[in-house]
């Protein structure tokens, strides 16, 4: 998940950090320990590297010291706001085969988009680019699930209008849950932009409220350390 996944989905050019969603159980963490050891990865910041913090929704941060991965940061999470448990995320993952026959498992695009709906300014342009890339890659012969995904998530007014006009019946059905789709059917880009901003502000507030108790816990950990 994160920047490297966005690169592989075609929505970013570069990311030096690696964000991983993992299964938080003792057996899996023993595997992670081996990988971190190979990378000479050292924990940084708080919280400390314990299973209980992953299960509560914290991210745990590492810095790689191995010369071949020098200074690369790895962030690990297991519980993510707005997303289902890891077992379901894993079942619907996207698997790519990279050069050298290397298998790479990515968080499914709809889940990645949800994970990016945060209070951070940098995430919202990335959501837009992810959706745009997916739309242009599949617009000639989309599946029904892709059409629904676009109408629910696209953040580019012009593309929303295009998708709405191309699939008006589906658009009308989904408009009850996403009212700005009525503006897309009417071809009103300015109204769509207003609706998109309202959506963003609501998600930012949800993310702030979600992280408030976790941030308080981090502050206690910082002081005690």
pLDDT-based confidence at residue 14 (cuts at 50, 70, 90):
confident
What pLDDT, on a 0 to 100 scale, did the predictor assign at position 108? 97
* Percentage of residues of the chain with pLDDT beyond 90: 91
Please choose, from the candidates 132, 124, 130, 167, the residue with its C-alpha nearest in 3D space to the C-alpha of residue 148. 167
As given in the structure block, the two tokens for residue 135 are 């739309």
**In the chain, where the domains are located:** 3-108, 123-209
Strands 73-77 and 18-21: parallel
Segment 11-17 shows an average pLDDT of: 80
Record the pTM.
0.92
pLDDT tens across 143-193, in order? 999 999 999 999 999 999 999 999 999 999 999 999 999 999 999 999 999
Segment 98-107 shows an average pLDDT of: 93
Segment 85-103 shows an average pLDDT of: 94
142 in the Ramachandran plot: left (φ > 0), alpha (ψ -120 to 50) or beta? beta
In angstroms, rounded to a whole number, what is the distance separating the alpha carbons of residues 81 and 65? 30
């Amino acid at each position: 998940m994160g920047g490297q996944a966005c690169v592989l989905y075609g929505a970013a050019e570069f990311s030096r950090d690696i964000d991983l969603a993992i299964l938080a159980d003792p057996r899996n963490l023993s595997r992670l320990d081996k990988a971190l050891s190979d990378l000479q990865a050292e924990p940084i910041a708080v919280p400390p590297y314990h299973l209980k913090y992953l299960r509560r929704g914290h991210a745990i941060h590492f810095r790689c010291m191995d010369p071949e991965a020098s200074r690369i940061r790895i962030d690990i999470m297991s519980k993510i706001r707005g997303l289902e448990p890891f077992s379901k995320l894993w079942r619907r993952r996207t698997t790519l085969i990279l050069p050298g026959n290397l298998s790479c498992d990515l968080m499914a695009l709809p889940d990645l988009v949800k994970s990016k709906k945060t209070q951070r300014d940098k995430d919202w342009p990335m959501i837009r680019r992810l959706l745009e890339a997916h739309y242009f890659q599949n617009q000639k012969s989309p599946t029904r699930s892709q059409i629904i995904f676009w109408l629910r998530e696209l953040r580019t007014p012009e593309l929303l209008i295009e998708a709405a006009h191309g699939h008006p019946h589906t658009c009308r059905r989904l408009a009850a849950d996403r009212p700005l789709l009525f503006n897309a059917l009417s071809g009103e880009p300015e109204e769509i932009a207003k609706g998109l901003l309202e959506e963003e502000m609501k998600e930012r507030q949800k993310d702030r409220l979600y992280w408030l108790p976790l941030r308080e816990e981090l502050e206690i950990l910082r002081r005690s350390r």
